[in-house]
Amino acid sequence: YQLNMEDLERGEELGRGNYGTVTKVLHTPTGVTMALKEIRLELDNAKLNAIIMELDILHKTSSSSHIVDFYGAFFVETCVYYCMEYMDPGSLDKLVNFSFGDTVPALHPQSDDEKELVWQGVPEDVLARMAGSMVKGLKFLKDELGVIHRDVKPTNVLINFRGQIKLCDFGVSGQLEKSIAKTNIGCQTYMAPERISGEHQNTVGTYTVSSDVWSLGLSIIEIAIGQYPYPPEAYSNILAQLKTIIQDDAPTLPADRYSPVACEWVASCLVKAPTGRATYAELLEHEFIQIDEAKAQAEGGDTVDMAGWVQTALKFREAKVAHSQALAAAALGPLK
Ligand code: ATP
Ligand code: MG
């Protein structure tokens, strides 16, 4: 079926990026809940048509369980819209942005020892499952669709209640990429050093598949520690940040919380020279991912409780939100 705006009932706003807004919508003819992404562009109909045609390749992603499903694209006036699978807990950045050991009063304390929730971060087996899923998604895009993601970062890694990890927002449309030319690269960059220094800027393959491997490594560290891995001093100023990425040693996983195997896997993504970085095949063959695969095969089921972890994280997030609202209300109280 052809999607159009008349059939979509708008729900809450899910988030806002540099180029547009994502809204939860209900497709009334089918009853399917979707995420609608709106990208504001000032383009003529010919260009918009070209983008819609290029986005059509997204229909082929349904054969991968590590890529969000695509339902269709259309344009209204000068905006491009596309509908994708709605992932309820949303992007990983929103689920892990707490520091290890952080505490918050429990929202519904059931027993004495549950008065306070403690953020335990992302356990290694969960992190391995996330990392493995991301690599499988990226490998699928490259091998099956010939697509390089180009925007790997935690806001583009989505999770559902079953704990399945899926990628979104990859560069399938050259015309779309050109039209939203990154004038604003944001205050946190996941760009690999070779993209910043632009050594290969004028060659067609400037953005190689290994640039995505760098962004993958950086994203995994961010997911593990709950914050962008470069120190805040470095990202108060974008030029200082870019210089840090080029000059300093790459960030690492905290060795006190993750095994040497996990740390080594991440380090193999964050090699400064693009040719020295691990390939997707190597990343999948690595012990960090293989331990998870072997366990899953031996026990013939899901050995990592991804769904349970999602619940724990949501519970913590919910308590955090309630707590900060209570604090804000208390602070405002005397003013009333
Ligand atoms: P950028 O504009 O730099 O890509 P971004 O990825 O945060 O940044 P958007 O792609 O516009 O910006 O997405 C905004 C937010 O919407 C995301 O951070 C994510 O939390 C949420 N989101 C996006 N797609 C979905 C989806 N399919 N299901 C649920 N939430 C989503
Ligand atoms: Mg996005």
Whole-angstrom Cα distance, residue 317 to residue 222? 17
For the chain of 336 residues, list the mean pLDDT of each consecutive stretch of 10.
92 90 97 95 88 89 92 91 96 95 88 84 97 97 92 96 96 82 66 78 61 97 96 75 91 98 98 96 97 79 88 96 92 73
Whole-angstrom Cα distance, residue 193 to residue 272? 7
Active site residue 169: no
- The amino acid occupying position 21 is T
Q: Are 69 and 62 in contact (CB under 8 A)?
A: yes
Residue carrying the six token digits 């050995």: 303
Q: Are 141 and 122 in contact (CB under 8 A)?
A: no
Of the ligands numbered here, which is closest to the C-alpha atom of 15?
1
Task: Give the pair of three-digit tokens for residue 214.
Answer: 């760098």
Q: What are phi and psi of 298, to 5 degrees?
A: -60, -45
At residue 84, the pLDDT reads 96
Cα 54 to Cα 2, 59, 218: the distances in Å are: 16, 11, 29
Pocket test for ligand 1, best of 32, 91, 191 (most atoms within 8 A of CB): 91
For residue 156, report the distance from its CA to the centre of ligand 2, in Å: 5
Task: Give the pair of three-digit tokens for residue 222.
Answer: 């961010």
At residue 273, the pLDDT reads 93
At residue 206, the 3 state secondary structure works out as coil
Residues with CB under 6 A from ligand 1: 14-20, 22, 35, 68, 84-87, 90-91, 94, 151, 155-156, 158, 168-169, 186
At residue 122, the 3 state secondary structure works out as coil
Q: What are phi and psi of 91, to 5 degrees?
A: -85, 155
Pocket test for ligand 1, best of 12, 13, 21, 22 (most atoms within 8 A of CB): 22
Angle (nearest 5°) at CA 325 between 323 and 20: 115
Is this complex's ipTM strictly greater than 0.85? yes
Specify the pTM. Answer: 0.92
Q: Are 35 and 25 in contact (CB under 8 A)?
A: yes
Q: Which of 170, 171, 141, 142 is nearest to 158 (CA)?
A: 170
At residue 294, the pLDDT reads 84
For residue 89, report the distance from its CA to the centre of ligand 2, in Å: 14
Q: Given the residues 69, 151, 212, 292, select the one marked as catalytic.
A: 151
Cα 316 to Cα 50, 97, 275, 323: the distances in Å are: 44, 11, 40, 10
At residue 125, the pLDDT reads 95
Query: What residue ranges in 119-171 does DSSP mark as E strands?
Result: 157-159, 165-167
Confirm whether residue 178 is marked as ligand binding.
no
- Protein residue closest via CA to atom 19 of ligand 1: 91
